[in-house]
Amino acid sequence: MQAILGAADAGLGILGNKLHDRLGETMTESLLFSPYTLRSKTFRNRLWVAPMAQYAAGTDGVPTDWHLAHLGGMARGGAGLVMTEACAVEPAGRLGPADTGIWNAEQASAWKRITRFISDMGAVPAIQLAHSGRKGCVSRRGVPLPPENGGWQTIAPSALAYEGLPEPHALTRTEIAALVDTFAAAARRSIDAGFEVVEIHAAHGYLINEFLSPLGNDRTDEYGGSFENRCRFLVEIVAAVRAAIPEDVPLFVRISATDWAEDGWTVHDSMELCRLLDGTGVDLMDISSGGMVAHQKITVGPGYQVPFARAVRSAGSIPVAAVGLITEAVQAEQILVDGGADVVMVGRQLLREPHWPYRAAVELRSELRWPAPYATARYRGSIP
């Protein structure tokens, strides 16, 4: 116990006087465990669950008991928001057959049981709306699925293949318009399913990201070429989704802040995009990176995407989430204290320890109420 607390205390020392005053002497709430409000939605804290594909859907994209246990467990674990995995807006928007979807009423009804439980646990249920674009139609190991095994023709802004995958069909303008409506219909269904936050997945080299990046888009019409043209598909989806969901439902956009590749999308582009989205009803930018091309050169380390979040945050007035190798309570707190982000999203650390928020709260000398059935196990002021 002392070792863990000692490490946390040592970490607190590097946070500077501001946090030291707040935590060391007065023992007031940390930023990480203070509530956060977007529109009329208040999150109990700023430690949120990042979207994570589970490859555990039943037939036809229907979420299963696995999703209830997985996402429900995260909500029980104390996170402020629990985001689904990339949830496909149409069948061809899945990466593979084991991905969940939100393109029909059966899926919405199955999600409802899950959103209800997440809400009952005090977390806000969020859905990530996604289309895999040219990276879809693959097995879990990334091998293209042949038609006889349920494979389909992938789509993209241009007939440019992702390295090792088949050439996608270049979308016509009519098909682009239909896809914008498809995202809006999925958003409407998400509300029926009880989701209280909608995130548009515009990152990781999937369909929307393929429009944004010059490495995926060589169109010569109004959806390609200039920066504004490449952003048009996303801007249209944002407008359609915003119009499809209630006023009080926050809308997030996840982007890859950089392609980590020559001639690709840059952090500067991400800052420009943030300015472009200002005033369109986007409430939070969720800042990830990479995934556009296989030859990307990523430098990974603790909090490696936080500088991107900070840059986008400074570009406009839209709040941002930082994600990526955030695994320590003190580290997460410091990101917020330093103004690197407004909230943090955590992925793998919460797979390892779904109840990690309770431990993190103790390390930051903050309060996080345990669910009543587990109350006998709660930390009593320190970690045993």
Ligand X SMILES: Cc1cc2nc3c(=O)[nH]c(=O)nc-3n(C[C@H](O)[C@H](O)[C@H](O)COP(=O)(O)O)c2cc1C
Contacts with ligand X, residue ranges (CB under 6 A): 50-53, 85-86, 128, 201, 203-204, 254, 288, 323-326, 346-349
Instruction: Give the up-direction half-sphere exposure of residue 96: CA atoms within 13 A in the CB hemisphere.
Output: 15
**Of residues 23 and 118, the one with the C-beta less far from ligand X:** 118
- Residue 209: what residue type? N
What's the gap between Cα 220 and its chain centre?
A: 31
Contact 62, 29 (CB under 8 A): no
Contact 230, 224 (CB under 8 A): yes
**Of residues 224 and 328, the one with the C-beta less far from ligand X:** 328
CB atoms within 10 A of CB 340: 21
**Of residues 79 and 271, the one with the C-beta less far from ligand X:** 79
Residue number of the CB closest to ligand X reads 347
Q: Where are the alpha helices (DSSP H) in 151-264?
A: 173-192, 207-212, 227-244
Contact 262, 292 (CB under 8 A): no
**Of residues 43 and 365, the one with the C-beta less far from ligand X:** 43
Q: In the chain, what are the helix, strand and coil shares in percent, each to the nearest 5?
A: 40, 15, 45
| In the complex, minimum distance from the CB of residue 1 to ligand X, in angstroms, rounded to a whole number | 25
Residue in 206, 223, 358, 374 annotated catalytic: 206
Output b/e per residue, 307-332; b: 16+ Cβ within 10 A.
ebbbbbbebbebbbbbbbbbbbbbbb
Output b/e per residue, 174-191; b: 16+ Cβ within 10 A.
eebeebbebbbbbbbbbb
Instruction: Give the up-direction half-sphere exposure of residue 340: CA atoms within 13 A in the CB hemisphere.
Output: 22
**Of residues 23 and 361, the one with the C-beta less far from ligand X:** 361
The reply to whether 206 belongs to the active site is yes
Catalytic residues: 206
